[in-house]
Amino acid sequence: MNTHHKYFLLLFFLFAINAFAQKKDPTKILDSLLLHHPQKDTTRVKMLSTYVQKIYYRDTRKADSLIKEVEKLSQEINYTKGKADANYYRGEVQVIKSDYSASVGSFKKAIELYEKIGRKPFIANCLNRIGASYYHQGNFSEALEFYNKSASMCKEINNLKGASIILNNIANIYADQGKYFEAIKNYNESKEIKQKINYRLGLAKTHTNLGSIYGALKDFPQALENLNRALNIYDSIENNTKTSVLLLSIGVIHSEQKQVDSALVYYEKALKFYKKLDDQRGIADCLGKIGNIYANQSKKEKSLDFFFKSLEISKKINDERGIAMSYLNIAQVYYFVKKYKKALEYTLKTKEIADKLNILKFQKETSGILSAIYEYQGKYEKSLATYKKFKTFNDSLLSKDANKKIIKLEYEYKYKQELASANQRELRLTQEVKTTNQDLEKSQRNLLLGVIAFLLVTLVLAAIIFFLRLRHVKAKNANILTEQKLLRSQMTPHFIFNALSVLQGIILNKEQKKSLLYLSKFSKLLRITLENSRDKLVSLNQELIAVENYLALHNIESNQAYDYSIVVDEVIDKSLFEIPPMLIQPFIENAIEHGFNKLSEDRNIDIVLNYTDEELVCTITDNGIGIDSQKEKSEKHKKSLATIITSERLRILSEDSKTKGKLMIEDRQKYNSQGTIVTLIIPHKIQKAL
C-alpha cells in the first residue's frame, strides 16, 4: 500500500470513528476497519490504540487484550509511539482496577518511550496520572511532586487543558487534608480555565469535587447544585464510571441531611455500577457508606459486616486511606456498643495511618474517641490531652481560612503596635525636657480621668448584672407559664369529658371487662401525667410509660384500632436519661385525631428514640393523610397549639440546660411515602450509673 492510500485510509478511519461515536457505538466500525486492514503497520496500531481509548473505562478485559496486541505489533515494526501508548493505556486500566502500584510502573515506562520521540504533551499527562496513582494510595507527598512536574511541563508547552486538570488534582489533595479554603480556590481556578476552553468533561469533574467540598462544609444547596451540573454532563456522554461517583456523592448529601432511605438507594445504585466496572476502591467505599447507614439505624452487627468487607478490599488493593476509614468506622461501632477494648484497638490503628498521611479529618475523629475511652478507663490526664488535640484538629478543619486571616490581622496589629511604641518612646524623650509642674499637672489630669473611667466601668458592669438577672427571672417565669399551658393542653377538661363519655357508653353497652380495662388505663394515665407535671425533668422510662398508656387508652376507645411501636436505641439506658415531661404526647394525639381522619385500616404509629452525636432524637412517624393535607383542610388562621407551645418550651429548655432542642415536622410525601414524620431533638441530662 502506497503512502497516499495509507493517509486516505487513516482519514477515513478517523471520520468514521467520530460518526459512530455520535451514535454511541464506535466498536462496530472499528471491528470492520481492523478486519479490512490486516497489514502490520502503524495505521493498524493507531486503529487499535483508538479502540482501546474508546472502551478501556467500560470494558477492561477487552482493553487488556487489545493493549497486548498493540504492544506486540509495535515491537514487531519497532514503532516507539505504539509501545508508549500501550504502556499508558495499561496504566489507565490498572487504575480502574485499583492496582495503583502497577499503574505507576506502566506510566513510567510510557514516559521513557515518549522521551525518545520528544512527545512532551504525552509525558506531562503521564506525570499527572502517576500523581493520581500516588494520591489513590494516600501518598500525598509523592502525588504533589509529580503533579508539580506535570504542571511545569504544561506551562512550558502552553497546555491550558493540562494545567486545569492538575489544578483540580492538587485541590483534591488539599480537600483530603481538610484545607478547604485552598481546595476551593484551586477548584475555581481550574473551573475558570475549563470554561474558557469549553472543556465540558473537565468541568463535570470540577463540579463533582466542589459538590463534595460544599457537602463537607454542610452547604448542601451549593453541594447539590454542583453535583447536578456534573450529572447533566455525564448523562449526555453516558460515562458509567463518573456516574457511579456522582451517585455515591449524592447519597452522601442525603445521608448528611438524615434522609437515610434516599441515601441507601443512591449507595446501592452506585455499588452496582462499581461492581460492573470492577472498581475495587469504589466497591469498598460504597460498602463503608452503606455500613454507616445501618450503624446510624442502630443495626450494629449488620454495619460491622459491611465495614469488615470494605476493610478486606482496601487491604487487598493497599488503599491506606480506605483502610483508615474502615478502622475508624469499626472503632465507632465498638465504642457505641460499649466494647471499649475493641474500640481502643481499632482507634489506635486509625490514628497510626491518619498521622502518617496527615489526614486531618481522621485525626480529629480518633482524638475524640480516644478522649472518651480514656475518660471511661479513668485515665483523665490522657483524656484531657486527647480532647485538646480533638479541639485543635476540629478548629483547624473548619476554620483554616479564618485562622489565616487572624494570623494576618495579628501580624498587622503587632507591626502597628511596634510603630506606636517607637513613636511613644520618641515622644517621651521630647517630653523629658518639660518642667516638673507640667508633669505634675499631667499626672493629676490622668488620675482624674482614671477615676472617672473606673466609675463609668463600675456603672456599666452594675447595669449589665442587673439586666442579666432581670432576663433570668423573666425567662424562668416564661418557662413556668409555658409548662402550665402545656399541662392544660395535655389533660384538658374536654379530653376528660370525652373519656368519661366513652366510659359511660361502654358501661351502658354492658361491656364490663372493657369498661374496667378502660377505667384502669385512664386512671393510670391521669396519675402519671399529674405526677410528671410536678417535676422539671423525669426519667425517660417514666415518660415512655405515660406515652404507652396514652396509646393503649386510645386504642380501647377507638372503633378502628391502630398498631403502634416504641423502639429505643440499645445505647440508651432509659433509667439514666432524664427529659422534660410531656413533650412527645401532643404529636401522638395529633396523629390519632387528625392524621387518621379518613384512614379506616392499616393505621400505624412508630416512635423511635436514638442517641447520636450527644443528641437525643425522637421520631414519631404515622401513615395518615400527612401534615400538608391537614393544613389544606384546616381553617386559614388556625394553628396547632401543641406545636406552638412545644416549640416555645424547647427554646426555653435549651437555653436553660445548655443542650440542643429542636422540632421539625415533615410530610412523608417528599420521601415517596404517606403520612407525617415529627423529629424532636430533646434537651436531656444523663445521670451517672450507681
Residue 457 carries which side chain, given as an amino acid letter? Answer: V
Q: Tell me what pLDDT residue 91 has.
A: 94
The enclosing domain of 577 has a CATH number of 3.30.565.10
Chain center to CA of 574: 29
Measuring CA to CA, which residue among 146, 176, 107, 174 is closest to residue 190? 174
Strands of 350-419, DSSP E: none
Q: Which three cell numbers stand for residue 572?
A: 440508651
Q: Which three cell numbers stand for residue 588?
A: 401522638
DSSP 227-265: HHHHHHHHHHHT-HHHHHHHHHHHHHHHHHTT-HHHHHH
- Whether 464 is covered by a domain: the verdict is no
- Whether 589 is covered by a domain: the verdict is yes
- Whether 214 is covered by a domain: the verdict is no
Chain center to CA of 368: 18
- Angle of the 42-55 helix axis to the 60-77 helix axis, nearest 10: 160
Say how far apart CA 196 and CA 171 lie, in whole Å. Answer: 19
Q: What is the DSSP letter of 574?
A: T
Say how far apart CA 47 and CA 39 lie, in whole Å. Answer: 12
Say how far apart CA 289 and CA 267 lie, in whole Å. Answer: 7
Is residue 663 within 8 Å of residue 650, measured between CB atoms?
yes
Is residue 124 within 8 Å of residue 162, measured between CB atoms?
yes
**Spans of the chain, pLDDT less than 70:** 1-27, 397-440, 477-498, 533, 557-560, 600, 631-642, 657, 689-690
Strands of 77-148, DSSP E: none
The domain containing residue 539 runs over which residues?
Answer: 484-686
Residue 315 contacts by C-beta under 8 Å, 6 or more apart in sequence? 323
Say how far apart CA 333 and CA 336 lie, in whole Å. Answer: 5
Is residue 190 within 8 Å of residue 228, measured between CB atoms?
no
Angle at 295 between CA 289 and CA 298, to 5 degrees: 155
| pLDDT tens string 639-658 | 566 677 777 778 877 777 67
Residue 272 contacts by C-beta under 8 Å, 6 or more apart in sequence? none
- Whether 642 is covered by a domain: the verdict is yes
* This prediction's pTM: 0.37
Say how far apart CA 529 and CA 81 lie, in whole Å. Answer: 84
Q: Tell me what pLDDT residue 6 has.
A: 47
- Helix/strand number for the chain, H first, E second: 28, 8
Is residue 331 within 8 Å of residue 324, measured between CB atoms?
no
Q: Tell me what pLDDT residue 88 has.
A: 95
Strands of 312-363, DSSP E: none
526-561 b/e (C-beta count within 10 Å ≥ 16 → b) = bebbeebbeeebbbbebbbbbbebbbebbbbbeeee
Say how far apart CA 109 and CA 284 lie, in whole Å. Answer: 29
Say how far apart CA 557 and CA 569 lie, in whole Å. Answer: 30
- Whether 492 is covered by a domain: the verdict is yes
Strand order in the sheet with 577-579: 538-539, 577-579, 685-686
Three-class HEC string of 535-552: CCCEEHHHHHHHHHHHHH
- Whether 249 is covered by a domain: the verdict is no
For CA atoms 386, 387, 393, 397, give the dihedral sign. Answer: positive
- Whether 410 is covered by a domain: the verdict is no
Q: What is the DSSP letter of 431?
A: H
Query: Number of folded domains in the chain?
Result: 1
Chain center to CA of 667: 23
- Whether 494 is covered by a domain: the verdict is yes
DSSP-assigned beta bridge partners for residue 619: 608, 679
Query: Residue 529 to residues 471, 485, 513, 678, 682: CA-CA distances in angstroms?
Result: 30, 14, 24, 22, 18
